[in-house]
Structure 1
Amino acid sequence: MAKAILPPGESRRARGFATFDEPPPPLLVDGAGRPDFAAIRDTAEFRELRRRTRVFVLPAVLGFLTWYLTYVLASAYAAEFMSGKVVGEINVGVVLGLLQFVSTLALTTAYARYARRQIDPQVAAVRALTAQERP
């Protein structure tokens, strides 16, 4: 069977021709149709998902733990500072304690927004690796 003559730089696949010389993309499922987790772990899509997760989670956890431990240590070892009056009977310790709740809410909101914009689309890309139609 003769091959069609195409302009330079144009492939048969780009023109919509079926090609049998290119293997289909690998389905990342085992013989029983279950996800092949070892193969998925080695894909670029999964590595990108892990990178996107680390970009937010690592700094957020380190920052929050530092803030929380600083509050606990200040409560234990800087009683004079923490008992300083701010307004009326409200002292620095109460204000910083309430800010712990505010920072937790802010961090949760920021993560939910980040996950919706950055992580969820990448999760969909990883899931698509196992949801492809069999040829």
Structure 2
Amino acid sequence: MSASRSRRLTHRQANSLDHRDEGSFFDADHPATGVPFPRRSTTAIATSIDAAAVGVSLALMDVNLWIACAVIGGITTVVATSGMILGRHVGPYLGRYAGILGGFVLVAIGGSILFQHLSGAA
């Protein structure tokens, strides 16, 4: 693919970059992703609740917070960076199915945790 072709934007991408004619900030999609404001807000609130729960849990446990934060930050950096690199290479082939696969993995993890708690298995 030539450099000039790879830099061209589709009509939808070009229109999403210009929100001057949009009615409201709350109605506008995010320029880069096209994600509506309510969905972005819900995701931000859910992430904040998750972070608060982890913070309270760590405060109640007898752990060294500096070590816990360093381990969590390090693992998050490695996994997120690996996902970005892998996604760049595999995304064009599996992009459509990656979300479905991720959903199945999360449901399987949740089901496993639920089963362990209901059965008393450790």
TM-score by length of 2: 0.32
In our comparison, the structure showing a higher alpha carbon Rg is 1
TM-score by length of 1: 0.30
